[in-house]
Structure 1
Amino acid sequence: MDIQLHEIEAITNKFADDQKIGSGGYGDVYRATHKGEEIAVKKLHQLQGLDDKQFHAEYRNLREVRHQNVVRLIGYCYQTQKKYMEHNGELVFATIMERVLCFEYMHGRSLDKHIQDESCGLEWPTCYKIIKGTCEGLDHLHTSQGKPIFHLDLKPGNILLDESMTPKIGDLGLSRLVASTKTHQTRMRDGTLGFMPPEYVDSGFISKKFDVFSLGVIIIKMLAGDKSYFRCSEMPSEQFIEYIRV
């Protein structure tokens, strides 16, 4: 569903700070209510080189994705507006492309808020529920559509939890959409390098194994914690299994 920018500005009080609930490499997120439903509104940063036709086509496809372990896209907006802004110390009248995505609101926060230095702060049954649900959501993306949908930026911050701690994969499609931008390249290399498989780091090769590698890193971090993950990654497999059992 296309949502007009003036509607989004109305429900976010023109993107007021007191409604902001988070920020990331792609944009800022605001909590709002649309037609009686709580939603998360992501206002994307101004990204040079992003193809707006591709943006529109990508989200027309993604809004058809329906799975209990994938965050539901409610609507989106890409609309130009003219405004005064500062450039080299002077006010100029510029044309700005605003891109906004609207998702279902997740009350349980993101998984990274529950991962500690040494181990996950959640009980094992909950951890298992999160792992199982994430696997099922990823399998749906890889196998249920006409062609596979690759996430390419799967990490704890993109696994969102609802009130019952059911996991849902979020930020779907954003990696592909901004792959050619300088902002994306810098953020990927500096921010989430540990979640990218060696074949991508070395040669840029992409397959469904990319997301599976990221999922494996997430599972180990849940079980071992952020700091212990690096010790685990250097262990032989038999030693790692024994370590987890203990």
Structure 2
Amino acid sequence: MDRESCTSRIDVLERLLLDESAEPTNLPLSLLQDITNHFSLDHQIGSGGFAMVYKGVVGKGMVAVKKLSNTFAIQENKFHEEVKCLIKAKHKNIVRFLGYCSETKGKMEEYEGNLVMADQRNWLLYFECLGEDQTRSITQNLQGTLGYMDPEYLRSRHITFSSDIYSLGVIIMEILKGVRQYLEDEYVRII
């Protein structure tokens, strides 16, 4: 990709970051490689069973780029369904989905002593990266429904991944039992 074309694609991504009403879009693998320094370890911010997450630098902004691994174990329609769900999921409390990359190219590989052309899938998802000032403003004041709030969060005033899992667990239990555990008047605000 020439430099001019790459610059115009970065401009598209910057506009996506600035315009909250912009729809998610498909961007090429080469652009996502550029903004993550070719998926370098110093840009890695997380990992899981099927993906690595990288920080992508876009001008003065940042995005999170989730690069799926082990794509041979994932059916293509499952990836398509995930993209569809992410495009529809729009809420002020959900990290904004900016788009996806789905590129497949052939690569010669040895298989059972023979060279074969194998498909190499590159499936990526990219999301808005919240700045530190945004996350701090959320956690300065404790507010929410008491029964859904992680007791550790109440004590320390620090939101962690475990805090989200605790709240999700409460919601899942309510769904499974079919009974709401906490009433609306249990909403608290501690400043």
Which TM-score applies when normalising by structure 1?
A: 0.42
Asked whether the 8 Å contact 1:83–1:93 carries over to 2, the reply is yes
Deviation at 1:41, TM superposition (A): 0.5
Equivalents in 2 of 1:23, 1:67: separation in Å?
A: 25
1:11 — aligned with what? Answer: 35
Aligned residue identity for 1:3: L
Percent of aligned pairs with the same residue? 30
**Could you say which residue in structure 2 is the equivalent of 1:105?**
129
1:44 maps to: 68
Please tell me whether the aligned partners of residues 46 and 97 of structure 1 are also in contact (alpha carbons under 8 angstroms): no
Q: Which residue in the other structure is 1:79 paired with?
A: 103
Distance 1:94 1:17 in 2: 26
- Give the 3 Å change call, closer, same or farther, for CA 158–59 of structure 1 in structure 2: farther
Which is higher, the Rg of structure 1 or of structure 2? 2
Kindly indicate whether residue 79 of structure 2 is the aligned counterpart of residue 55 of structure 1.
yes
Residue of structure 1 in register with 2:48 after alignment:
24
Q: AA paired with 1:105?
A: C
> Pairwise mapping of residues 150-165 of structure 1 onto structure 2 (< 5 A)?
156=161, 159=164
One-letter amino acid of the structure 2 residue matched with residue 156 of structure 1: F
Q: Residues 153-232 of structure 1 correspond to what in structure 2 (within 5 A)? A: 156=161, 159=164, 209=175
1:205-242 deviation line (CA, Å, top 9, x unaligned): x99726x9xxx9xxxxxxxxxxxxxxxxxxxxxxxxxx
Cα distance, 1:90–1:23 mapped onto 2, change above 3 Å = farther
Shift of 1:93: 5.0
- Indicate if the aligned counterparts of 2:71 and 2:121 stay in contact, CA closer than 8 A: no
> CA distance change for structure 1 residues 158 and 36 in 2, over 3 Å: closer, same or farther?
farther
- AA of the residue aligned to 2:88: E
Structure with more of its chain in strand, by fraction: 2
| TM superposition shift of 1:35 | 6.2
Hey, what's the Cα distance between the residues in 1 that align with 2:142 and 2:170? 23
TM-score, normalised to structure 2's length?
0.53
Q: CA shift at 1:90, angstroms? A: 9.4
User: How many residues get paired?
Assistant: 135
Q: CA RMSD in A?
A: 4.3
> Compared with structure 1, are the counterparts of its residues 53 and 70 closer, same or farther at alpha carbon in structure 2 (3 Å cutoff)?
same
- Matched residue type, 1:209: I
How far off is 1:30 after superposition?
A: 0.6
Contact 1:63/1:72 (8 A) holds in 2:
no
Structure having greater relative contact order (Cα 8 Å, sep ≥ 6)? 1
